[in-house]
Amino acid sequence: MMAHMFQITIGQTFSGGFIDFVLFGILQGNEKTNWLMVPVIGIPWFFVYYFSFSFLIKKFQLKTPGREDEESGVVIRNKTERAEAILTGLGGADNLTNIDCCATRLRVSVNDVGQINEDLLKQTGSRGVVKKGNGVQVIYGPDVTIIKNELEEIVGEK
């Protein structure tokens, strides 16, 4: 909204990051994009966002990543045990209808979301679980492709 009010017209591709800012903002010229207003607006908004969200997170004890109540302390390290535990945490092979992944998340479709054991999944190194309908996303980070392959191997055996 602020960018529109100040007539900032910087294009972007995938992420709208620094490279896009340089290519589609600075190199296009200020007359065309009004890019000089970005720091004028961005710096104050950084402080507004930072302090308001820091206050709200602390005041209401919001559970952002890294601020969970308890750590189980038990992390399964062995690859075979980990894959078996993930399968159990997802409700078993009969509960799974599809297994996939993106860059950081194991994405599975399940028959019954109620069979998901989030505590067990956290013991396997998961950083969080997102449930939406019959879809479950378990956040593991960049090793998720290896985990997906291990899980598919075990499900294929059963």
On average, the pLDDT of the chain sits at 91
Cβ atoms of residues 78 and 123 within 8 Å: no
How many beta carbons lie within 10 A of that of residue 61, not counting itself?
Answer: 9
Give the domains, in start order, of the chain with CATH numbers.
Answer: 2-59 (no CATH), 79-157 (3.30.1360.60)
Query: pLDDT tens digits for 69-127?
Result: 665 556 666 778 899 999 999 999 999 999 999 999 999 999 999 999 999 999 898 98
Out of 57, 75, 102, 130, which one is annotated catalytic?
A: 102
Confidence (pTM): 0.61
| pLDDT for res 158 | 64
| pLDDT for res 80 | 80
| pLDDT for res 65 | 73
Q: Packing angle between helix 144-157 and helix 79-89, nearest 10 degrees? A: 80
| pLDDT for res 13 | 87
| pLDDT for res 38 | 96
Alpha-helical segments (H) within 60-142: 79-89, 118-123
Cβ atoms of residues 136 and 71 within 8 Å: no
Cβ atoms of residues 148 and 101 within 8 Å: yes
Q: Please indicate whether residue 102 is annotated as part of the active site.
A: yes
